[in-house]
Structure 1
Amino acid sequence: MVTLAPGVLLIADPFLKDPNFARTVVLLCEHQDKGSFGFVLNKLFDQQLDELIPEVLVSKVPVYVGGPVQMDTIHFVHQQPDIISGGMQIGPGIFWGGHFDTVVAHINDGTVDLDKIKFFIGYSGWSSGQLGEEMEEKSWIISPATTTLVFDREEQQIWQRALKSMGSNFAMMANFPIDPSLN
């Protein structure tokens, strides 16, 4: 049984109505008694990294909406601890954060694999006990994070792929309509 901890995915229940989290997949980076936080993996932001960080000289580096909290901050997860120091491992092959100046330098000189890093504006946060309450309400389905899902660039498919990866009982949920009353 998967429990709430860093490195798990929170997959939104098909009928979750919260506009910030409907049909999202959140990578949980921290879970403690005082609160939890992570990043939405499948909501593309309308600006690229070089538009937000002038020091980035490479264009077409996507940025995702990590969540509704502190939309003036940039965060990242990656699979390259050998060249990005200072990160924290939160799952097999998944690292959160690191030295941002180093990341920018590696992007600019082409030594970072852009398929192995994902940037977020803002984050998703829960106060003490809030995520536990949402779990009791069945707002989220949890699954271990995989590098395949976390670094998937087809953001519109991540939610369905996450459900399908959990087996046939969950795979059928991937096809549920957004609003069943419209059927």
Structure 2
Amino acid sequence: MINHSEPEAGKLLISEPFLNDPHFTRSVILLVDTTPEGTLGMIINQPTALLVSDLLHDLVGADFPVYSGGPVNTELIHFIHRCPEKISEGQELAKGIFWGGNYEDFKRCMLEHTLSRDEIRVFIGYAGWDPGQLQNELSTNTWIVSDQYDADMVFNVDEAQLWRDVVVNMGPRYAHISQFPKNPNLN
């Protein structure tokens, strides 16, 4: 897996098929911030057993799943969405995908039940890299950087299938990787 793309906000990091880190096995990470101080992203295909109402007790009935965004600062809540007309002030990462936004808009939409599950993903924690750390991991082919996806993949594809679908969507050069078993010793 050779990277030909630089990691930037709005791009995906796709883990190599045999990455043995339990936080990142077959993970797809949406990069949300890349600066000289480091890189930040959200693992978009690792749901937890929690609901938004479990974390934010004033949002009774907010039965949206919470995803593990990564192992850093797991007390922080982040969200991505595709409804800037409902949640203002979000930062557009890619066409139709926004990071964060006005928290009061978020709360109002949750309480009024005006969001659907295919419009928002809520995360606890994030994935983070210090300066140079991600570049080092890219040089050892731990990750593939891709912009070959759309908002429907992020919000509609089943989490268990997302890694495979993103890899296949990158074209024939990568599609064979999607067929690798999770544990090559069982092959």
TM-score by length of 2: 0.93
| Aligned-residue offset at 1:33 | 1.7
Q: Confirm or deny: 8 A CA contact 2:41 2:127 kept in the other structure.
A: yes
Q: Is the CA contact (8 Å cut-off) linking 1:103 and 1:112 kept in structure 2?
A: no
1:160 deviates by 0.5
User: Any conservation in 1 of the 2:51–2:65 contact (CA below 8 Å)?
Assistant: yes
Counterpart Cα distance in 1 of 2:76 and 2:50: 14
Gaps of 5+ in 1: none
**Secondary structure at the counterpart of residue 93 of structure 2:** strand
**What amino acid sits opposite 1:26 in the alignment?**
I
Query: What are the residue-to-residue correspondences of 1:43-122 with 2, within 5 Å?
Result: 43-122=46-125
1:127 aligns with 2:130: yes
Q: Distance in 2 between matches of 1:115 and 1:142?
A: 24
Identity rate, percent: 37
**Partner residue of 1:175?**
179
TM-score normalised to structure 1 length: 0.94
Aligned length, in residue pairs: 183
1-structure distance, mates of 2:36, 2:104: 32
Q: How many Å apart are 1:149 and its aligned residue?
A: 2.0
Judge conservation of contact 2:16–2:141 (CA < 8 Å) in 1.
Answer: yes
Which structure 2 segments of 5+ residues have no match? none
Task: Measure how far apart 1:112 and its partner are.
Answer: 2.5
| C-alpha distance in 2 between matches for 1:152 and 1:65 | 17
Q: CA deviation at 1:57?
A: 2.3
C-alpha distance in 2, partners of 1:62/1:48?
Answer: 5
Distance 2:140 2:30 in 1: 19
In structure 1, what is the Cα distance between the partners aligned to 2:47 and 2:143?
A: 21
